[in-house]
Amino acid sequence: MKKNVKLKTVGISMYLLFLIASFIFGYNPGKEIAFNLISFLLYMLKILPCAFILIGLFEVWVKKEIIEKHLGEESGIKGYIWAILLAGTIAGGLLVAFPVAYSLYSKGAKLSVIFTYIGAAAICRVPMALYEASFMGVKFTAIRLLVSLPLVIIASILLGNYLSKRKYKMVEGK
């Protein structure tokens, strides 16, 4: 355990030294890496606090029975539709989708529905689709969604069934 901490500390220290040296010696790729890091950190600081507050409220306000009814083992095809609709409205992409997926899992959602939710959060968020349609065209966006979503659902069902047969359980955090 201590060896991993030391390796991480050395790695982070070397990374920061590289960034500092890039500014000192005028190494442009290093400067760009630093600016990208700062940009990403600022993005995360804008999105994540609000998202985690909403996830906390979701944990408290949404009853387990509702999730089990609409996204659980007996939900059928409606569970996949609800997962896609929920994923389409998410802000923050997968940074927010994974904590929401964990919350859904802990409230009794079926594994294949959760996998569909994660896949749909990656490919069919409404703001992303609108942005894509404005550049690539509505026809391209429609074709991409009509091809991608069934593949995500099929892969989710296969993976969910595979893990369910093996009695998969998510490990609780410490």
In a domain, 57, yes or no: no
Q: Which amino acid is at 93?
A: G
Residue 173 above 70 pLDDT?
A: no
What whole-number distance in Å separates Cα of residue 22 and Cα of residue 33?
9
Question: What is the number of structural domains in the chain?
Answer: 2
37 and 88 belong to one structural domain:
no
In a domain, 73, yes or no: yes
39 and 122 belong to one structural domain:
no
Residue 142 above 70 pLDDT?
A: yes
113 and 135 belong to one structural domain:
yes
In a domain, 56, yes or no: no
In a domain, 40, yes or no: yes
Q: What is the per-residue pLDDT across 37-48, written as a single tens digit (0 to 9) for each?
A: 999 999 888 888
Confidence band of 25 (pLDDT split at 50, 70, 90): very high
**109 Cβ contact partners less than 8 Å away, ≥ 6 residues apart:** 67, 68, 71, 72, 79, 117
What whole-number distance in Å separates Cα of residue 76 and Cα of residue 97?
22
112 and 144 belong to one structural domain:
yes
Residue written as tokens 């906390």? 56
Confidence (pLDDT) at 26:
92
140 and 67 belong to one structural domain:
yes
Instruction: Tell me what the mean pLDDT of segment 6-15 comes to.
Output: 91
103 and 140 belong to one structural domain:
yes
Q: What percent of the chain has pLDDT over 90?
A: 60
What whole-number distance in Å separates Cα of residue 123 and Cα of residue 146?
11
Residue 1 above 70 pLDDT?
A: no
Give me the domain span that covers residue 33. Answer: 1-48
Q: What is the per-residue pLDDT across 54-89, written as a single tens digit (0 to 9) for each?
A: 888 988 998 999 999 999 988 889 999 999 999 998
The pTM of the full predicted model, rounded to 2 decimals, is 0.78
State the chain's mean pLDDT as an integer.
90
135 and 86 belong to one structural domain:
yes
71 and 43 belong to one structural domain:
no
Residue 2 above 80 pLDDT?
A: no
130 and 72 belong to one structural domain:
yes
